[in-house]
Amino acid sequence: MSQDAQVSSSSAPTLEDVARVAGVSRATVSRVVNGVRNVDPAIQEAVRAAVAATGYRPNRAARSLVTRRAETIALVVSGAGGDSAEEQDAFAARAFGDPFFGRVVSGVIGYLRPHGMHPVLMFAETAAARAEVVAYLRQGSADGALVVSTHAEDPLPPMLAEAGLAAVLFARPARPVPLSYVDLDHRDGGRLAAERLLGLGRRRPATIAGPLDVPAGQERLAGFRDAMARGGQPYVPVAEGGFTARSGAEAMARLLADHPDLDAVFAANDLMAEGACRVLLEQGRRVPEDVAVVGFDDSPAATACRPPLTTVRQPVEDMAAEMARLLRQRIEAPGTPVTSAVFDPELVVRESA
């Protein structure tokens, strides 16, 4: 870097500093920094290199005046909750206590950060909170919303669609709504779990299903049952859980009481599988010698479980990043048609099956 191109260490680098290093005009730097499309790719690369060399950071307020965007995304955890402070605190505690949400946040931030966008976490568990989310977006405080619903009949997605707001959902909604979403082939994940247990020679399987009013719970159960039927196992006892370790433990206890000779269990998420393993060990059943257990998600609970869980991997971080990409695309091109991105599951073999 030449002497006249160096940036003084006593002040923050400016657009003029970047322009001097890149050998272009200040106006050109401004267009690249603000995402204007009709700039020659070679010039864009030179400007980005100069930005990196100088350590320049755009002024978000000034940039927003140019782009008319907040450069902020609302990451909304939505579902059913009560109106009392205690019930709202419990809703937030459940969200933070589930490793799934941490993985979603990680994937979203990993995508947004290089694009100069920032997430704002919002909870929408009551009618008032949902109205607040819609108002927040309408007034331009955020450019769009990434929505993770915890309740099958969540009214927030249709509210966002009716308001014409940019939004992308994590998981296919229970009822059709004109919003883009990312999801997993849950039915195929259930198939992978069944084929693993059948391949181990297990012939008295049972399953702990997720909530059966949620599409993911329905699809995982259907895929497992279908594959078991193709493998010669037409009847699979089912106990419904709630995607928590406690519900998995309670469901496992019911299954053992009704079917004490079972030799395999598929739990529709890792937290329920972890609870199931705890009950099995408490009742003197060895895992996997007496009962093989397969979970779903490949979350931190899978490796924390004893023994470590064989599980069906859901690439949550990649799915969350794709959700953020689809929303950014929608923000930059509002006429973009709604779409879906469905990911493939993968079996991860550990010690439980």
pTM of the predicted protein model: 0.77
pLDDT tens string 23-51: 888 888 777 776 666 678 888 888 888 88
pLDDT (0 to 100) of residue 240: 96
Beta bridge partners of 346: 313
pLDDT for the residue 4: 43
Q: State which residues of the chain have pLDDT below 50.
A: 1-10, 65, 67
